[in-house]
Structure 1
């Protein structure tokens, strides 16, 4: 029931305090042991003349933004020729190799007037976490260094409330459609800017199999909630939900059908820029699937009592050997709700 006036304001303040106390970022930054050797990835670049830069950079920022884990790269670097310091050429980075393969058909058409000569370069795959790393890695490609960015920066009050609201709805969805022997686990993909739900998935890893002498349970780990959610999003067609009760409860997430939301571009690359809400911490396999999908952030409501936690234990999302990193947060909605109820009594 909605609150009015001062009472509503008090409840908002109490919720903010509870969220600040209970919401935790999971995993370390990876900078604890001094300068690291750079992990590299392959990108597509092209030499350009200095006078081309002012026109080309805005086009690339719109067409191929460096938001796929490459925001630490400077878009352009100077290349001086040995013995001729006055002769200066520029190199411009377009995108990762795999992104170019996905986008080259339409991107080539837009960029053809610039007469680019595409080459490949190995560049640092992650942002430097210290000035020492900035100096060491800058030989590969000029980098952007933001002191302290790798340290934990608490989400804003608005972000905390959004995380809490999405996590609450995800938990409610999981509990409302629990079908034994499956667990009450749900995963939801959300576009953070619009708040739209773009895909849902439920745990279907356990199923009954009948044989002549009885029934036994089959464990299919590829049907964990996260895997089903990612599969639903990746499907070019609207997925069918066979269980009517599951469809009805999925509608509670604000979707009449599971389909791509209007907020996403037609050429959306995997899950770039999306957040995943899971009612229970993903296992290592599901965490790797989220990483390969280029997820922006993962939020879960409780730790995993059955499997090694992909974030709290394996720390997949902060592994320096991998070419993508993202944030993971614990938002214990049941603890927060319990604290809010106790404040009202």
Structure 2
């Protein structure tokens, strides 16, 4: 189930008083979120053990490096410098026994007198570091090549978004919260999950949804959101009879009419609706669509389960934001589905947005 609490205390609403559906914003949360990253960006770079020799004469350093790179290359450790002071990397420990090193070098016509007799071991980075924090740590152990990726640095240090963007995201999450509250009062009086889908290119809310498991076990908020997006693209499987929009600047088939009216009234500065559907042959940039949530941001009041997380992958969402973690959440709590390398699509995930208010649901 999507609900993070097993026995939530039911909230009662006065159907005549719409104001009771609103949170008290006197103690408003700031727009704070955190990225949910793949383990290889969070954990330290794994290490491996290598044999290290010491060059006898400092004048021979360049010659020894060139010669060893030629006769004993180490392709799996190309991200490492071969030399550290007078110490030179010889072989990974797993590739050869210590007592065989000098005989192997001699068999390749290397002058072993250029090395001191003592062979040491050292731990080095097994793979290239991906971010500066990892690089700083492994570089102290053994010199390492590193090419900084500015985007990954911002993502890993949670400095990707401007304050203006964070305010926009906060507004969208408040809208998702209100969708959940409205749905609980009008449609399904159980603990609710709100979801909205946003096309950031046109700054418009494409679809809104909530949990409808009273109508079917698969109708979690995220799954319904994807289906509602499909309705704006001449598709959809659930409640197709609700589709009424025929014209207008934007396609609003991703909303129930009464919910859309409520949202438009409360959020009168936001745009609602999707761009009218075009086939790939009609697009200037076919990679932008038209497959469901391609390029869209999805805002969920609660961390989605495995089914919903995979549904968002298959629908090609670009970014997913959630408020509160759930006991069976599949984006950080029980697993990180979006980071599985073998999947054919990956979206970015950010959690904790208005977490306190989402937990109140």
What TM-score comes out, normalization by structure 2 length?
0.47
The TM-score with structure 1 as length reference comes to: 0.49
> Rg bigger for which structure?
2
